[in-house]
Amino acid sequence: MTIAAIDEVLCNGCGICVKHCPIDVLRLDAERKKAVIAYREDCMLCGQCLDCPEEAIRLEPGWGRPYLLGWG
């Protein structure tokens, strides 16, 4: 895991992290007005979501990848 969590309480739904993520890991939940980790497995630890004004996003070290066997 790399992007660990988005603090639901702190997140103000501004969408900056969604905009700044270069690989579309984050999406905005329109109803709840909260950013969500939509594609965690694609996170590459670039850290741009740390631009979050509320500091609601936590990253973790360690890069593991689920084994993708045989075929997709």
Q: Name the site residues for other proteins (rule: CB under 8 A).
A: 1-2, 19-24, 38-39, 41-42, 44-48, 50-51, 59, 61-72
CB-nearer residue toward other proteins: 31 or 66? 66
Q: Are 31 and 57 in contact (CB under 8 A)?
A: no
CB of 24 to other proteins, least distance (A): 5
What is the per-residue burial (b if ≥16 Cβ within 10 Å, else e) of 52-61?
beeebbeeee
Q: Which of 60, 48, 49 is nearest to 1 (CA)?
A: 60
CB-nearer residue toward other proteins: 2 or 56? 2
Q: How far is CA 53 from the centre of its chain?
A: 15
CB of 9 to other proteins, least distance (A): 23
CB-nearer residue toward other proteins: 9 or 71? 71
